Amino acid sequence: MIGHLARTTRARRTVSLVVSAAALLLGQLAFGPTAAYAASASACAANPTAANCDHVDPTSGNGVCLQNTWEVSGYPVVPKFDVNYGGGNVPVRVELWWSQTCRSNWARVVSTGYSGYAEVFVWRRSDGAYDRYGHTMTATGTWSALYTNLMYTPGLAAACADDASTWGGCGPDK
């Protein structure tokens, strides 16, 4: 009788463990992995670290991370084909920006005539971490420039842009 009770208890524990694992897996499939979100721009400015600055919007927090900023580098990227302009070479400009206050970089892509989908990336070269933003660009107006969130980069960083199919490029590490 005691042996039967021990086997039943072990079987219940095993079933409970399997059900718990299945529920966890289904939750991950249904809702995706739990994202780690950065602190605020104010926290980044007060104590610049990867934990406080990565993926923070540089314009948030009353623009605290936009104080004492400059463009580190910029270069043209020429799309090979632009369906909106009959296949002409219409460039975009990719820029790498630095916030001295937040010790972080972000990337920006600006249309100089291009309309279509574009992605912009900023890479922290020390560990390969990056932030990316993608959206349909317009030649002028609100969507004529796209930018990434911050990446804390005490070392080298690079800005890149592409259309996820036919054109793309990265600037030099800065």
Q: Please report, in tens digits, the pLDDT of each residue of the chain (174 residues total).
A: 554 444 444 443 333 333 333 333 333 333 333 344 557 999 999 999 999 999 999 999 999 999 999 999 888 776 555 555 445 555 788 999 999 999 999 999 998 888 888 999 999 999 999 999 999 998 888 889 999 999 999 889 999 888 877 777 787 666
11 and 70 assigned to the same domain: no
59 and 76 assigned to the same domain: yes
66 and 136 assigned to the same domain: yes
For residue 33, the model assigns a pLDDT of 35
For residue 113, the model assigns a pLDDT of 81
Which residues form the domain of 6? 1-34
Cα R_g (the chain), whole angstroms: 23
For residue 66, the model assigns a pLDDT of 93
C-alpha to C-alpha distance for 4 and 2, rounded to whole angstroms:
5
46 and 30 assigned to the same domain: no
Tokens found for residue 51: 């934990």
For residue 92, the model assigns a pLDDT of 84
47 and 89 assigned to the same domain: yes
16 and 71 assigned to the same domain: no
20 and 49 assigned to the same domain: no
Longest dimension (CA), the chain: 84
Q: Which amino acid is at 116?
A: G
115 and 53 assigned to the same domain: yes
5 and 57 assigned to the same domain: no
For residue 156, the model assigns a pLDDT of 92
Number of domains in the chain: 2
12 and 80 assigned to the same domain: no
Tokens found for residue 159: 């800005």
C-alpha to C-alpha distance for 160 and 105, rounded to whole angstroms:
12
30 and 58 assigned to the same domain: no
Adjacent-strand bridge partners of 95: 74, 108
C-alpha to C-alpha distance for 118 and 140, rounded to whole angstroms:
14
- Report the DSSP pairing between strands 130-137 and 145-147: unpaired
102 and 146 assigned to the same domain: yes
Q: Which of 115, 112, 121, 111 is nearest to 147 (CA)?
A: 121
- Cβ atoms of 151 and 157 within 8 Å: the answer is yes
